[in-house]
Structure 1
Amino acid sequence: MVEQVFEQPDPEKALKAMVKHEFQRCVDDPPTLLYEFVSRRRDGRVKQQLDGSFAMLFTGTEEVMRALQKRGKVSEQVDARQAAITLHALMNGTILMWAVAPESVSLFDLADTVATTMVNTMIKQ
């Protein structure tokens, strides 16, 4: 999905739409099971499974970032691995803050800021 966003004439606008879509999915179907799983991280099996799952997620996103760099869609100045982790941290962190304090955190008020931060991290360097 991220690859398609960066192929658009206005990637920032497309990314804002993608972030809003992902946030709407969270409102419609809150990711409580994932956060319950994460909260049990002290369990060795859970820790191992989470580490493996997130490692695969980061690696997959890193590969997408490198492909986008080769096509000139993402700055070569960006460390693809760090960008991949930052992208997921920004999205997951925002969703976690909303899940913990939904009356204080508006996903939709933050969507444009999250998207702009991503674009600034990946393109405008």
Structure 2
Amino acid sequence: MQISNSITDQIQAIKADKRRLKQMIVNLLSNAVKFTPQFGSVGLEILPENDHAIRFTVWDTGIGISGEQLENLFKPFVQVDSSLSRKFEGTGLGLALVRQLAEIHNGSVGVESTPGKGSNFYF
């Protein structure tokens, strides 16, 4: 798996809980790695969105998520594949926590995804 990052040096200091910010990034990166095949790619991009905000984006070339699955993705205990034979482990709390922490920081979280091509999660 290829892992890359793109972090501009033009980012100014932000006021945020460093521990929670790290937790958000780790949760998104963990999901990206979990749902990306061995020869896929995962990345982190941190860029200024405007004069007062920074956009953190975690992207992958993984399995992707369908439009109908996106609706419930950030709800606690929800798994994209909730069948008994599901391939991927997890509690379904990681993305719900990311959303909650983003909102605590007066932000939001979003996702763009295409099944079979990958996902971009951003906050």
- TM-score normalised by length of structure 1: 0.27
Higher relative contact order (CA 8 A, sep 6+): 1
Larger gyration radius, structure 1 or structure 2: 1
- Comparing both structures, which one devotes a greater share of its residues to strand? 2
Q: Which has the higher helix share?
A: 1
Q: TM-score, normalised by structure 2?
A: 0.27
